[in-house]
């Protein structure tokens, strides 16, 4: 079996790379933009919330080593799936969460996972993260790639200051 792509929007893409980056079977995690119609958008354009794009990560993975089901489970643990207006400190449509599926199988897995999360009772509000067909993905500017490695002090401060780290600790104990 060959490599596949998975695409997730979970708010600030800086915070969405590290959680996926260190597992066997994950070949690449790229920060970028997807969901809108503007070709090759810039960070400044996406931040206007007028392009339809969301900050996202696209993961190239070997499903025989790291199955898509595990990617989706890991994704849910990085976000507040009940927040329709963005993620944590970051507000606006460019920071809204979404799962972008690349095949009918991914769509089925994502929908089943969303239903299981809803049924778990872990969240008191509805799960609002949409599951959408993948659109073209545009890699972000180079300075956004692997941000947690290039700027670890700022990255760690941002994880805490944005509220993401505390939320993850409260909800998932990590």
Structure tokens at 105: 């199988």
Is 12 labeled as catalytic in the residue annotation? Answer: yes
The one catalytic residue among 12, 71, 79, 98: 12
Residues forming the active site: 12
């Amino acid at each position: 079996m060959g490599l596949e792509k998975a695409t997730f929007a979970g708010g600030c893409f800086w915070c969405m790379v590290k959680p996926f980056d260190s597992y066997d079977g994950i070949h690449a995690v790229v920060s970028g933009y997807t969901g809108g119609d503007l070709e090759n958008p810039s960070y400044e354009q996406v931040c206007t919330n007028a392009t339809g794009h969301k900050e996202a990560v696209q993961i190239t993975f070997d499903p025989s080593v790291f199955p898509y089901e595990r990617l989706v489970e890991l994704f849910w643990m990085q976000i507040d799936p009940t927040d329709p207006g963005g993620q944590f400190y970051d507000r606006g449509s460019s920071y809204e969460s979404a799962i972008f599926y690349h095949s009918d199988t991914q769509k089925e897995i994502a929908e089943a996972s969303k239903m299981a999360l809803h049924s778990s009772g872990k969240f008191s509000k509805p799960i609002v993260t949409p599951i959408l067909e993948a659109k073209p993905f545009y890699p972000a500017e180079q300075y956004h790639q692997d941000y947690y490695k290039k700027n670890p002090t700022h990255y760690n401060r941002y994880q805490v200051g944005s509220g993401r780290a505390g939320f993850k600790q409260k909800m998932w104990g990590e």
